[in-house]
A and B are shown apart, each in its own frame.
Chain A
Amino acid sequence: MVNDFQVEFIEREDRRARFVARGLTPALANGIRRAMVADVPTFSIDTVRFVENTSVMFDEMIGLRLGLVPLTTPLDDFEPGDTVTVALEVDGPATAYSGDIESADDMVVPADENIPIIELKEGQRLEFEADAVLGYGKDHAKNQGGVAVGYRHLQRVEVVGDAGEFDEQEPNILRGVIEEAAAEHAEGDAEDGDLVATETFGNDLTERYPGKEVEVHDVPEAFVFSVETDGSFDVDELVTRAVASLGDRAAELEEKVAL
């Protein structure tokens, strides 16, 4: 089974993207989603050595908060299991932010600088050294690179007639991305086959096709992925790594069952 996949971007930023992929079975689409959550490793703080903690929180609670700080992860330069040492030293009165964490490696630093770790009052102090380990999302949720990853069917909207003159004007809410199939009835410039995010018309089909009766159908083998990363790497990296990990698994299976 050899398929050509077509990918078309609707929205593309560093940390979030939305794209339509065609030629996928639902199983493959879900496989890619699961790989993005579980099979792309990220750095995350794993053990913390507290030198001083006179804050109001227990060491263990601060440790849990530290584990959830996303760290930038250049996957080309590290192998799963690799360790990078980070440290933090803050004297109160001040708030310890993720940006205060200093790293031994410039490539592995907190992805966001403004995540509060704890608020310190006068005389309180937090000092620790910690090991960040490159681990997998399937082992611990703190290692998930893809957050808010999902997909839904691409939907095709067709105009089948006029709405009855005395029908009640109720909104027809649809969320996601539609494939234009009735451009001549749509508001504004449109061409058949356009991919339109439903936010552009308030998620309401009666706004786009006023006075028309519409039918909505799923487009077979077309999925709209909505992907967001925690900042460890950009979306392109996440998706390509996830797909590559699926490919590796398939190759491994082929090798194992070959007689």
Chain B
Amino acid sequence: MSYKCSRCKRDVELDEFGGVRCPYCGHRVLLKERSPNVKEVAVE
């Protein structure tokens, strides 16, 4: 899963062992980025 650290703005890869923490600066607030995929929306 790819996240972005809210303090140092670096991309962070999380695995199930490391816990929720930025490996570069130790910050515990990570932001989930929008998927780069094209999103299709039906107008209803």
Contacts and interface: CB of A to CB of B under 8 A. Distances in A.
Given A49-B39, A50-B39, 6 more contacts: A46-B42, A47-B41, A48-B41, A51-B38, A63-B43, A142-B43
Contacts of A84: none
Contacts, number: 33
A87 B43 CA distance: 15
Interface residues of A, number: 17
9 contacts: A44-B43, A47-B40, A47-B41, A47-B43, A49-B41, A50-B41, A60-B41, A66-B43, A67-B43
A50 B44 CA distance: 16
A75 interface: no
Interface residues of B, number: 8
A49 B40 contact: yes
A45 B34 CA distance: 24
B20 to A, nearest CB: 25
A140 B42 CA distance: 13
B9 to A, nearest CB: 14
Interface string A59-72: 11001101100000
The CB with the most chain A CB atoms within 10 A, among B39, B41, B44, is that of B41
A50 B38 contact: yes
A47 B44 CA distance: 9
A125 B43 CA distance: 20
Contact of B42 (A44, A47, A142): A47
